[in-house]
C-alpha cells in the first residue's frame, strides 16, 4: 500500500448558467478589470488515498466523483494522474 495524491477539477458544464462565475466577473469589472470577458468558477479537490497502484487510485477517485464530489447533471470533472504523496 502506498499513498497517492490525485487532483480533481470540477467545472460547471459548458452552456449551463454559472451564477458564481457571473458574480465574480461583475465584481472584477467593478474593480476596474474591464478586459475580463468571462469567468467560470469550479472546484479543485485534492485527495490523498492509500492504494496498491496509481491506476487503482484513479479508478477509486473516478467513483468518488460519480458518487459524491461532482453533480453529474450540471458539472464535468477531470482527474489528474495520481502522484506518490
Binding site for a copy of itself (CB under 8 A): 1, 3, 9-11, 24, 27-28, 31, 33, 35-51, 60, 63-64, 67-69
Closer to a copy of itself at the Cβ: 15 or 67? 67
Cβ proximity to a copy of itself, 3 vs 13, nearer residue: 3
Residues 13 and 48: their CA atoms lie apart, in Å, by 26
- Is residue 65 classed exposed, middle or buried when 0-12, 13-18 and 19+ CB atoms within 10 A define those classes? buried
Smallest gap from Cβ 13 to a copy of itself, in A, equals 13
Per DSSP, 65 falls in state I
Query: Which H or E run contains 77?
Result: strand 75-79
Nearest approach, Cβ of 73 to a copy of itself (angstroms)?
Answer: 19
Amino acid at each position: 500500500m502506498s499513498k497517492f495524491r490525485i487532483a480533481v477539477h470540477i467545472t460547471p458544464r459548458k452552456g449551463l448558467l454559472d451564477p458564481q462565475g457571473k458574480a465574480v466577473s461583475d465584481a472584477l469589472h467593478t474593480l476596474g478589470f474591464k478586459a475580463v470577458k468571462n469567468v467560470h468558477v469550479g472546484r479543485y479537490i485534492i485527495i490523498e488515498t492509500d492504494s496498491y497502484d496509481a491506476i487503482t487510485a484513479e479508478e477509486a477517485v473516478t467513483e468518488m466523483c460519480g458518487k459524491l464530489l461532482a453533480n453529474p447533471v450540471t458539472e464535468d470533472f477531470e482527474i489528474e494522474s495520481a502522484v506518490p504523496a
